[in-house]
């Protein structure tokens, strides 16, 4: 799993039929110090996260497992909304 921050939403007028009704969010990957670490990516959101929320996301085949849609064409998916983060040194 990876840590990220939701920075926006994707509005798609045309998308794969298997993704109808599924929200797409733009997620900025961050490290444990909350610093940006890679380019933003688009992730499916079955949990109803919002802009500014810190989230955990997965990439690859596991990304579609959070959806009720078999074989959805998904590269990244949100699996948790993070309420707090405690880092011990």
Can you give the pLDDT at residue 40? 98
Q: 55 vs 15, which has greater pLDDT? A: 55
Q: How many domains is the chain built from?
A: 1
Can you give the pLDDT at residue 58? 95
Contact 61, 12 (CB under 8 A): no
Query: Is there a domain that residue 30 lies in?
Result: yes
Quick one: which of 29, 41, 34, 31 has its CA closest to 4?
29
Which of the residue ranges 17-26, 38-47, 48-57 would you say has the lowest mean pLDDT? 17-26
Indicate which CATH number applies to the domain containing 21.
Answer: 2.40.50.220
Query: Is there a domain that residue 15 lies in?
Result: yes
Q: Are strands 23-29 and 54-59 parallel, antiparallel or unpaired?
A: unpaired
Q: Which residue range forms the structural domain that includes residue 77?
A: 2-82
Q: What is the pLDDT of residues 52-88, one digit of tens each?
A: 999 999 998 888 887 877 788 899 999 999 999 888 8
Residue 52 to residue 62: CA distance in whole angstroms: 24
Can you give the pLDDT at residue 51? 96
Tokens coding 3: 């840590």
Query: Is there a domain that residue 88 lies in?
Result: no
């Amino acid at each position: 799993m990876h840590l990220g921050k939701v920075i926006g939403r994707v509005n798609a007028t045309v998308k794969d039929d298997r993704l109808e009704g599924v929200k797409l969010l733009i997620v900025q990957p961050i490290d444990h110090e909350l610093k940006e670490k890679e380019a933003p990516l688009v992730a499916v959101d079955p949990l109803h996260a919002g802009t500014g929320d810190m989230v955990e996301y997965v990439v690859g085949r596991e990304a579609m497992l959070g959806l009720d849609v078999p074989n959805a064409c998904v590269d990244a998916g949100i699996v948790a909304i993070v309420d707090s983060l405690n880092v011990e040194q």
